[in-house]
Structure 1
Amino acid sequence: MAAPTAYALIATDLDGTLLRGDDTLSDRSLAALARVAAAGATHLVVTGRPAPRVRPLLEDLGGEGLAVCGQGAQLYDAGADRLLWSVTLDRELAETALGKVEAEVGEVYAAVDQDGADGLTLIEPGYLMPHPTLPAVRVGRREDLWAEPISKVLLRHPFLSDDELAAVARGAVGSLATVTMSGPGTVELQPCGVTKATGLALAAERLGLPPSRTLAFGDMPNDIPMFDWAAHGVAMANAHPELKAVADEVTASNEDDGIAVVLERLFPPAP
């Protein structure tokens, strides 16, 4: 493990990690991140949310700097309000992958995040947003989901658990897409080979910071690649067992300011 003072890049997931259940940032978390900045380190959001769904939160965090969005498919410059890099999921491959999943488990409900700094989240009939506070546009037919370039597909099943659906999807989809599970009710198909780690690595390269100086926080299996890449991975108390199994430590829950607990230890106030 790197010495605490060596951490120059603090990578945090949002949902279930930095954010509380009501999608807000606590004063304690904001104060801890201010300590990070005062010490000369960089805070980097690394989230499954697409850039348009992250923009308001980044404003609360200062509104500048980089953010890794869309499970690593987007590198967003908050200060300039533009994507520096993005990769899309081929829509024909996405439709084929979705068909393969349904051949195994029956009908699923789907949504997509469109590519771009102003892309929409489209949901087909029957799909329920796992985060009701996030804006989405309901379309009349599944075919309408493929109208514009997309960064990922989100899946829900009427009765299978997220773990069960993700396991079946991985077997059915193969190399057509990367399957991730990023939160309750959130199983996703994204471009093959794209993970939070690939997006984090791209951002870190631009910042001139190596994995050995990176501390990462998360709560779900989609954070495992990020933990593998970073020097030290911290799982929340509310994290999925798969992430806890590979974490270097477990902190308090997102509701109990688990990120702040660690950052206050590693970045104490100046004497």
Structure 2
Amino acid sequence: MTLPRLVASDLDGTLLRSDGTVSERTRAALRAVEDAGVEVVLVTARPPRWLDPLADCVGGHGRVVCLGGAAVWDLAEGAAIEVHGFADDELRALVADVRAAVPGVALALERVSGPVFDPWFPPDETGLPPAVRAVAVEESLDDVAHPAGTVGKLLAVVPGRGLSTRVGDVQRGHRTDAAQDEFFAAVRTAVGDRAHLAFSGAAGLAELLPAGVTKDRALARWCARLGIAAADVWAFGDMPNDLPMLRWAGRGIAVANAHPDVLGCADLVTDGNDDDGVASVLERALAGR
């Protein structure tokens, strides 16, 4: 098995175990492929504030494609080197339209400079300063220090429900319920083609990205900078928001615990995230050189 020039991996449900950790086996496999000259890039829906513990997983370059492709974050500098955020008028209109379409909805803005949450947003986000939750998100839109262009994601939560998990643990049996389906349909109708509605795994959470922002486009820009063709990329994922990236890459690889749609389109299915599926593929490739 010939090694690729670049390995791209989703985090939650793919590279990370269910407890949110990276196993020593996986860390060792990532180091080994980098020592063999392969670039490792993490491509995640996570915001920058959830990336610091993963700095040793991205080798010397220290950069992560985050917010579902809306930003590239430099871990060493603690700053964005690329942002594809919302336009000001566009974001204001989306907030207003989602509010109107889903009465009681809880919203949040994920900015590269830090988040803003409605005060009634479900309390899954622990450890945030009280001021972060002090105002409705609309009141933050006039903050000239944090313009709309720094907002990579608008989050919306089903009214009256908390999130099933803080990150990434979708209904692994892939059950849905009427309330969530109705909620997603209402949000999709309200935003139309003005934003990309993504589902990265937290039940009850709709994630809106700027139109045209997807993981595959962000990864393609990264690879273009490095002079790497799609055919020389292996991409790992588990959720529907990973599908464009897996289809774009020369080899799209799903972990065994992936969503059925991902399993159905993958070129290869490896072991689950709790069984170090990414590491398993990389180890076999290194052994077969």
Q: Same fold (TM over 0.5)?
A: yes
The alignment status of 1:69 with 2:69, answered yes or no, reads no
Structure 1 counterpart of 2:190, from 157, 172, 175 = 172
Contact 2:46/2:68, CA 8 A, preserved across alignment: yes
Structure 1 counterpart of 2:273, from 242, 247, 254 = 254
Counterpart position of 1:237: 256
Counterpart position of 1:120: 114
Three-state SS of the structure 2 residue aligned to 1:44 is strand
Structure 2 counterpart of 1:89, from 82, 86, 90 = 86
Contact 2:2/2:288, CA 8 A, preserved across alignment: no
Unaligned runs of 5+ in 1: none
The alignment status of 1:55 with 2:52, answered yes or no, reads yes
User: In 2, distance between residues paired with 1:135 and 1:63?
Assistant: 30
- What is the deviation of 1:65? 3.6
Q: Deviation string for 1:84-118 (max 9, x for gaps)?
A: 21111124322322443344443321111113xxx
More deviation in 82-91 or 192-201? 82-91
TM-score (norm 2): 0.81
Three-state SS of the structure 2 residue aligned to 1:121 is strand
- Structure 2 vs 1, CA of residues 66 and 235 (structure 1 numbering), >3 Å: closer, same or farther? same
Contact 1:11/1:46, CA 8 A, preserved across alignment: yes
Aligned residues: 263
Residues 13-162 of structure 1: pairs in structure 2 closer than 5 A? 13-59=10-56, 61-62=58-59, 64-115=61-112, 119-128=113-122, 132=125, 135=128, 137-146=132-141, 147=143, 148-149=146-147, 150-158=151-159
User: In 2, distance between residues paired with 1:162 and 1:239?
Assistant: 20
User: In 2, distance between residues paired with 1:141 and 1:169?
Assistant: 18
Contact 2:152/2:209, CA 8 A, preserved across alignment: yes
RMSD value, Cα: 2.4
- Structure 2 vs 1, CA of residues 78 and 245 (structure 1 numbering), >3 Å: closer, same or farther? same
User: In 1, distance between residues paired with 2:262 and 2:179?
Assistant: 17
Unaligned runs of 5+ in 2: 162-177
- Structure 2 vs 1, CA of residues 262 and 166 (structure 1 numbering), >3 Å: closer, same or farther? farther
TM-score (norm 1): 0.86
Contact 2:235/2:253, CA 8 A, preserved across alignment: yes
Give aligned-pair identity as a percent.
39
Structure 2 counterpart of 1:219, from 238, 262, 267 = 238
